[in-house]
Every structure is written in C-alpha cells, then in structure tokens.
Amino acid sequence: MNILEKYPNLKNNIIFKNASEESIGRFITEDKIDIHRFAVGEDICSPEDTDVPVSIILEGTATVSSADCGRNVLLKTVTEGAVFGIATLYSAEVPFPTLIKAKSACSVLFINAAAVRELIEHDRAAAVGFMEFLSNKIVYLNKKINAFTAGCAERRLSLFLADNESDGIYSAEASISALADMLDIGRASLYRAFDKLEAEGFIEKKDKIIIIKDKQAMLEKYFR
C-alpha cells in the first residue's frame, strides 16, 4: 500500500492535491509521517513548540487561538481536513504563533516539515499549491484586519460566526462579556449585532446555540 492509499487525506490538502504521486511517494515516506491522538482539551500545537510539523486533522474538532501577551483569543474552530504548520515552513520566527487545542477527541496526521519542503522544492504543482495556500492566507488575514479595525459590530460578529461554525452551528463556549472582549466591542453593541443578524434572517439564536441560516449571504452583505 502506498502513502496516498494509506493516508487519502493527503490528496485533499492544497499542497498535495496536484503534486505527482511519484513525488509524494519519494519525499513523504512512511518514516516522515506519524499519527497522534489528542483528548479533549489537549494542546495539539502551541507557542512552546519549536519544531512544528505540517499537520492535518483526520478526525475531530479543534480550536485555534492567538497567544498574545498571555491572553488566548479564539480565532476559529477547525475540523476534519484542516491543515496547519504550512505558513511557518520557511519562517525562522519562533515561537509558533497560535495555540491549537483539541475541542473534541482528535486524530492528527503529522508530516515532517523538512520532507514537505523537499516536496515543494522538487515538484512544481506542490509549489503552486503552497503559493495558493499563502495567497489565501493573506486574503483571509486582510479581511480579519479590516473587520477588527474598521468594521461595525455586525461585521465583526458575522466574520467570527462564519469562522467558528461547524455544519451551520456555532455553540457559544464563551460568555457574552468574553466574546465582546474578543471582538473588541461593547456588550450592548454585541447584543444589538446579534439582534440585527437575526432580524435580517442570517442567524437564529437558541440559548447558547447559534444557527447560521445563510452564511454566504451574511458575508456578502458585510464584506462586499
């Protein structure tokens, strides 16, 4: 059995999806791959790590938080197929900039970073995939900056909900006060933003459960 047959999730990844099977088999060998399992609440990657592998979530859900000045701010929730560790492949910056923690029991595929760099440097399609990943990341971060520096409360909230929903559902783990702090808005403004998004038909609130009824339309309105 070759690597792609054993780990089919590799072909869903932006770098590996167009790379030749020959190249993947040459550089991503069995000894360069490992699977780790994490219980709820365990750190998958953290700023304390100095050698972060390219990682793909095979099963489960994880949270991604910034770790700045001792404060962990939730950025988004990710699930099966999510990849991290790519943006730091060629960076000498340490530590790893985010904290990734298992929200549910997780199975994560770890791939040696040096092996991924070799693949990128020897396979043009993998290199194009890497550039596409970085381009998408830049666009995403620019949207984040716009939302959190010049955006109204509805804009900030809609982006947060879009990033943290799973199958159209956001389960609120943080209190209203904590969420207001995350979004850098007042509690009253946050309540009004929830009410407006619900009145516009984009979401439906059921206690701590937020149903995202029309994610695309919500983002089109606040990010056009």
- Specify whether 61 is located in the same domain as 163: no
| CATH number of the structural domain spanning residue 87 | 2.60.120.10
Residue 144 in any domain: the answer is no
pTM of the model: 0.70
Last residue of a domain, one of 114, 137, 160: 137
Q: What is the pLDDT of residue 46?
A: 82
Last residue of a domain, one of 109, 137, 165: 137
Enclosing domain of residue 67 = 3-137
Q: What percent of the chain has pLDDT over 70?
A: 90
At 97-143, the pLDDT tens digits run: 788 999 999 999 999 999 999 999 999 999 999 999 899 888 877 77
Q: What percent of the chain has pLDDT over 90?
A: 36
In Å, how far are 131, 145, 191 from 174, measured between CA atoms? 35, 22, 14
Residue 123 in any domain: the answer is yes
pLDDT class of 200 with cuts at 50, 70, 90 = very high
Lowest mean pLDDT, pick from 152-161, 177-186, 190-199: 177-186
- Specify whether 26 is located in the same domain as 118: yes
- Specify whether 102 is located in the same domain as 163: no
Residues in contact with 27: Cβ distance below 8 Å, sequence separation at least 6, in sequence order: 115, 116, 118, 119, 122
- Specify whether 26 is located in the same domain as 120: yes
Q: What is the pLDDT of residue 65?
A: 80
Residue 95 in any domain: the answer is yes
- Specify whether 18 is located in the same domain as 114: yes
Last residue of a domain, one of 81, 108, 137: 137
Residue 143 in any domain: the answer is no
| CATH number of the structural domain spanning residue 204 | 1.10.10.10
Q: What is the pLDDT of residue 172?
A: 74
Mean pLDDT across the chain: 85
If one counts every other C-beta atom within 10 angstroms of the C-beta of residue 77, the result is 18
Residue 93 pLDDT more than 80?
A: no
| Averaged pLDDT for residues 68-77 | 65
- The number of distinct structural domains making up the chain is 2
